Structure 1
Amino acid sequence: MNPFLVIEGVDGTGKSTVCAALEAEQSAAFYKGMSPEWRDFRDFVDEDADDDSRLLYYFASCVYTSGKVQKSLELGPVICHRYFATYMAIYSLNTGTPLSVVKEAFLPIRKRMLTPQLSILLTADHEELRSRLLARVHELKATDMRVVNSLEYTLNFEAALREVMSWDGSFIELNTTGKTPEQVIAEARRLCETHIPDWKPVTPASN
């Protein structure tokens, strides 16, 4: 299989920056865990749907993304900006449903989805996350504001991500606190070169 990488993390940890850099280096296909077509319905689902309907919506979105990834992997590498961990974590946090209950419902769905060769969880301390998010104040979404306004929410979100990502086995955590974008990209690149077979090393001439 061609390389399949997933980058997860709380808002503001640097996912978009890392994904964009690695996508360009690898000439990879890029997907967000929830495709634009599915995101169009998300506000309605989150505001008006009952909990079961909301969970099925998240499940369906994840399976759809996995199918798109599978087709793209026939042609080359794929990098995914979130996959399923974020959506299972958010559902648990927003509905108060224990992750153990979410996991029991999700496992039959998960069997229908591809498993990435490497999943990286980006983290950063709360003050740095706040600073990064407030720097793009005109782009902030509701989930961003929860991170900005609540240390407790941020810690709970990170803890939920760790638990959900562990359902697939191992993942690697990369703390981005105090690091430049270039440093974070270099560390993520090194992890990919170490842990993903057929990941194309970047030579100085291609930087």
Structure 2
Amino acid sequence: MFVVLEGVSGIGKSTLAEVLTARLGATSLHTLSDPHSAWSSQVNERLNALPQFAFYLSGVLHAADAVRGFRTAGPVVADRYVSSVISCHSAVHGVPLADVARLLEPFHPYLEPPDHTFYLRCSEQALRDRMTAKATGSLLTPDDAELFSVPGRLARLLDNFDSVAAADPTAVVLDTDGKTPGELADWILDHTEHTRD
């Protein structure tokens, strides 16, 4: 089984991925993984939109290779995957979502398809509360900070993830407000159990 968690920065994907990984005895990965994660800040600072897209495309193709290998040993949980590449690139660079999706189309046969993609949602207040907690612990990333500091960024990301989810046959939208990571993991595991082929 290959499960992907998608959504805006700070929504709780990483924490939920840890819980799911432990419960499933799964292998987990983050898109971007090494070596790409070490290069991303320089890429974001120095490259224009199209070279940045090529970098993130390379990262998701690398993640697909890893997933293929990990799946032979058991379940896989990914913190971000293809939907994040499309949604985030479009929002950050003001490129139409359809244009970014079109750039990715030739590579779909190479990508390892998820069994389930859970799109996490929460209220803006819950997201602000999470960001405040992350900032207090000095865990705020540049992506986290830009959700609220760049005008329109959060709205564009939310719209993009909604649009991508609507076109994703593996999509399940999951509201996280008022739920612990353990409760969300319970719901996800119940859903995956009841939707097995």
The one of 83, 100, 114 equivalent to 2:98 is: 100
Task: State the Cα distance separating 1:15 from its structure 2 match.
Answer: 1.1
Tell me the TM-score normalized by structure 2.
0.91
Q: SS where residue 12 of structure 1 aligns?
A: coil
Q: SS where residue 85 of structure 1 aligns?
A: helix
Q: SS where residue 35 of structure 2 aligns?
A: helix
Alignment RMSD, CA only?
A: 1.7
- Change in 2 beyond 3 A, CA 1:111/1:25: same
Range with greater deviation from structure 2 (124-133 or 148-157): 148-157
In the alignment, does 2:190 pair up with 1:182?
A: no
User: Contact 2:19 / 2:182 at 8 angstroms: preserved in 1?
Assistant: no
Superposed, which structure 2 residues align to 1:79-158 within 5 Å? 79-137=77-135, 138-149=138-149, 152-158=152-158
Distance 1:165 1:128 in 2: 21
Task: State the Cα distance separating 1:184 from its structure 2 match.
Answer: 2.0
Range with greater deviation from structure 2 (118-127 or 80-89): 80-89
Distance 2:141 2:65 in 1: 27
Runs of 4+ in 1 over 6 A off after TM superposition: none
**Residue type of the alignment partner of 1:41:** W
Tell me the TM-score normalized by structure 1.
0.87
User: Contact 1:130 / 1:147 at 8 angstroms: preserved in 2?
Assistant: no
Matching residue of 1:200 = none
Task: State the Cα distance separating 1:194 from its structure 2 match.
Answer: 2.1
In the alignment, does 2:54 pair up with 1:56?
A: yes
Task: State the Cα distance separating 1:23 from its structure 2 match.
Answer: 0.7
Distance 2:157 2:196 in 1: 27
Distance 2:148 2:177 in 1: 16
**Residue type of the alignment partner of 1:130:** R
Matching residue of 2:169 = 169
Q: SS where residue 119 of structure 1 aligns?
A: strand
The gaps in structure 2 that reach 5 residues or longer are: none
Range with greater deviation from structure 2 (39-48 or 142-151): 142-151
Q: SS where residue 5 of structure 1 aligns?
A: strand
Distance 1:45 1:110 in 2: 24
Task: State the Cα distance separating 1:148 from its structure 2 match.
Answer: 4.1
Task: State the Cα distance separating 1:85 from its structure 2 match.
Answer: 1.1
Task: State the Cα distance separating 1:84 from its structure 2 match.
Answer: 1.5
* Alignment coverage as a number of residue pairs: 195
